[in-house]
Amino acid sequence: NYRTVGIYAGALGYGYNTEWLDSRGLTAPTCWADLVKPEFKGEVQI
């Protein structure tokens, strides 16, 4: 029997364009959950 465990050691983060946010009257995301808000629909890129 084999067992595996997923391990990840690294940093994850996101960046945003403050000019784009300002032009749309949006506030910057402060956590990952903010990225699924309706105002960011179709704007998140990976």
pLDDT at 26: 96
Those residues whose C-beta lies under 8 Å from the C-beta of residue 27, and which sit 6 or more positions away, are 21
pLDDT at 11: 80
The model scores a pTM over 0.75: no
Of the candidates 37, 33, 12, which has an alpha carbon nearest to the alpha carbon of residue 24?
A: 37
pLDDT at 2: 87
Dump pLDDT digits (tens) for 3-46: 888 888 888 899 999 999 999 999 999 999 999 999 999 999 88
pLDDT at 8: 84
